[in-house]
A and B are shown apart, each in its own frame.
Chain A
Amino acid sequence: MTSDVDEELWSAVGDPIRRRMLDLLLVDGQGTATSLSEQLPVTRQAVAKHLAVLDRVGLVHGAASGREHRYWVDDAQLARAAEQLASVGSNWDGRLRRIARIAERIERQKQTPKQRTPKQ
């Protein structure tokens, strides 16, 4: 289901270490659990687990390279994740405009409850 994938994608980028890993992979083009762990305050094993999470949601892809797996970022999927982040932070202007409209409508109704009631 689409919503499950989205939730997973969301929590995959919700972790600061995983985001730094994406950063490093973007900068270097590619990397292995070993090369990433050398640049991060976590063990190679922890990095490997994080890579598995990123791989599962399609943010990175890996291929066997010698004794290790080499990973790189899936640009399209990263753009999708970025889009999701963007959509939650945006659109406040429209929301505020609607809040104002609704509140003002309610206020007008309070002030003039019925047209046949003469104004005081």
Chain B
Amino acid sequence: MEFGTIEREVRINASPATVFEVITSPEHLKEWWPDEAVLEPTPGAKGELVFGDRSSGNAHVPKLTVVDAVPSRLFSFRWTHPEDEEAREGNSLLVTFELSASDGGTLLRMTESGFREMGWEVAVLEEQYQDHVDGWSHFLPRLVDYAATVEVAS
């Protein structure tokens, strides 16, 4: 794996249309990621993720910009750029979801890249990155197990 990119692949027993809906609609987004999401799956659209309680004043609210959105096929966005800057290569992380029909279900391929550009050359940060990679290797087998159970159950 190229340093600076996180890549994952997951098979889901649901149609690409359903998976696209789950990864792009604010209603579903908050079930799997932030506490609240403001987002429209349109290229160029700007949205935000809300972590924590907004009214408390302690919420973390990173901005995101939709790069590409093709129903049932593709969804990508940039995030973590400074609030006063436009999202671009070098100041943000690029998350891409690619969907393809597979055996009556969906193969979901996720990548998150831009760590190197965002300054992971600082030695300390590289260490942190290595921790993530170790984390992925720990979690992936569990994911595969989980997917298998779901398949048997349905």
Contact = CB atoms under 8 A, between A and B. Distances in A.
Contacts of B76: none
Given A19-B119, A86-B131, A104-B154, A92 B12 contact: no
B47 to A, nearest CB: 16
B59 A96 contact: no
A41 to B, nearest CB: 16
A107 B59 contact: no
B83 interface: yes
Contact of A99 (B32, B129, B142): B32
Contact of A92 (B60, B112, B154): B112
B74 interface: no
Interface of B: 6, 8, 10, 12-15, 18-19, 21-23, 28, 31-33, 57-62, 79-85, 90-91, 93, 106, 108, 110, 112, 115, 118-125, 127-129, 131-132, 135-136, 139-140, 142-143, 146-147, 150, 154
Interface of A: 1-3, 6-7, 10-11, 13-14, 16, 19-20, 22-23, 26, 78-79, 82-83, 85-86, 88-90, 92-104, 106-108, 110
